[in-house]
Amino acid sequence: MKKILKIGLFVIVIILALSFWWRYYFVFGEGVKAGTLNFFVKKGFIFKTYEGRLIQDGFKSTAPGALQSNEFEFSVTNDSVAAILERNSGKVVELRYKEYLHSLPWRGKSNYVVIEILKAEEVQKNNILPYQ
């Protein structure tokens, strides 16, 4: 009876460990997003994490008939990537990220974690008026 109980407990622990890994550490997807870096901050009460927002070109609507800009909220865990992003606020950046199923407090509040900066450049301003 004790042997069955030990095996059952071992199987339960393995299942719990695998489900925790699946929920918080499994990389669901990877990708690249580009847009204007709106803000980038380090914040948090216990775990200080880097959080940012990228404004992409175009519009999306969460409700029928409403317009809203495309926003991509992300977290950063690497200090060297964070240092580069801090100096590029307001510029057009291209970011490589990993998407997780759920966030962790020490990884940031977003499911998207930026791992690399591919490009950062000034915003191109168009001096041509649309109605001349």
CA 115 to chain centre: 9
Which domains, and CATH codes, for the chain?
A: 28-121 (2.40.50.140)
Structure tokens at 82: 């964070």
User: In terms of DSSP bridges, do strands 68-76 and 27-43 run parallel, antiparallel, or are they unpaired?
Assistant: unpaired
User: How is residue 78 written in tokens?
Assistant: 């690497």
pLDDT value at residue 56: 87
Both tokens of 94, joined, read: 């291209």
Dihedral angle sign, alpha carbons of residues 105, 111, 112, 113: positive
Confidence at residue 65, expressed as pLDDT on a 0 to 100 scale: 62
Helix or strand (DSSP H, E) at 10: helix 2-24
Q: CA–CA separation, 37 vs 121, rounded Å?
A: 11
Please report the pLDDT score of residue 90 as a whole number. 85
**pTM for this model (two decimals):** 0.78
Output the pLDDT for position 126. Answer: 62
Q: How confident is the prediction along the chain (132 residues), in pLDDT tens digits per residue?
A: 888 999 999 999 999 999 999 999 999 999 999 999 999 999 988 999 999 999 988 766 666 666 666 889 999 999 999 999 999 988 999 999 999 999 999 999 999 999 999 988 877 666 565 555
- Tell me the DSSP string of 87-99: TTTTSEEEEEEEE
